[in-house]
Amino acid sequence: MKKVDILKKLRSSGLRPTKQRVEIAKFLFDRDTTFHFTIESLENHLTKKTSCKFALATIYNTIHAFKKAGHLSEVDVRGKKTYFDTNITNHHHFYDNETSELIDIDTSEIVIQKIPKAPNGKKIKNVEVFINLKN
């Protein structure tokens, strides 16, 4: 992924390319495998890997703008912190309780043979499979 794509992510999220935002966008999107993170873990990575200072509010604001623009998704994980995901396609997860890590599962890797019909007047929006791991 080139720098022009980073700028595109920012522009399409309605964000000016400031120093902090470019660093965040590069960190999130300039990689070839999915990245799952919390705001806290992202902050740690950013302060470790860049020479830039980040107010927590800037990280929250930028991540929310990316999410709103569809560049990030959110994953439900037990616990108090919100998990975000750079994989915005429909997919499933392994969750390692020991390490608190998420691992992507492509939809093609899970086949559901039988599923109940939605309650009266409702439709199925999407199906999420969450596989808890143990040692």
Contact between 57 and a copy of itself (CB under 8 A)?
no
* Contacting range for DNA; rule: CB under 7 A; set: 12-20, 93-101, 111-119, 122-130: 12-20
Window 57-76: residues binding Zn ion (CB under 5 A): none
Of the candidates 3, 42, 53, the residue with the CA atom closest to the CA atom of residue 26: 3
- Distance (Å, whole) CA 56 – CA 60: 6
Dihedral sign, Cα of residue 61, residue 70, residue 4, residue 105: positive
Minimum distance of Mn ion from residue 16's CB (angstroms): 31
CA-based torsion, 10, 64, 20, 88: positive or negative: negative
User: Which parts of 92-111 interact with a copy of itself (CB under 8 A)?
Assistant: 94, 96-97, 103, 105, 109-111
* Binding-site ranges for Mn ion (CB under 5 A): 76
* Binding-site ranges for Zn ion (CB under 5 A): 85, 87, 104
